[in-house]
Structure 1
């Protein structure tokens, strides 16, 4: 996947609205740049298979869809079960890991940090869910 397209996708998925493109024209402009880059590189340009390990970017074209699906799953689980339910916490961990594997190591660490703080408030600082979240954050910080 071209780096420009990956950057656009991550911007479109940004939780903070200030980090998203300001309008559709900006998105179209970047897409046109990507198309020009692909046309210039010819048919030999293709994505390799997904890489493994923390911090290694996924290079398949489906990671944006996976991130969107994971974010939607978290929202649906929160709506159905409440913020502090075990299924929600697991889904948030999966979203954080997927974020990190997409190449956004900082984003993964930030998601785990937020989850750790939430779990600490809900269950206490020594609870296993709190410790798991902060361990996940440390794993991505060190990646």
Structure 2
């Protein structure tokens, strides 16, 4: 009888998935002009799982007492279980966040600050003083 020993990867290779990483990102405008910078937070997989379970758990727990409601349990239990799954799945996708950032409006030269915006490219920010919509692209090194 032979035994197979499986070796996992070293701890150094696993740490990027274990911690939330924060990067400083520089932004440019459509005309490649420097606009500002922001902190980008990329959550770890374990943190995403926890947030997903916290979002799904109330729906799953609400489905338990619905089992005892005659006739309505055929509708309520599957709907609550499905809603819980979809809520959890929205967190499991793992979108990054722009935690805080400062950019300058090219029209009125006013400094704009933003917090906790979901990651998307290009990032669209509306100037509060002149109403100009800035399209911010990540500046690649």
Larger Rg: 2
TM-based fold match above 0.5: no
Identify the structure with the greater strand proportion: 2
Q: Choose between structure 1 and 2 for higher RCO, CA contacts under 8 A separated by at least 6 residues.
A: 2
Output the TM-score relative to the length of structure 1.
0.27
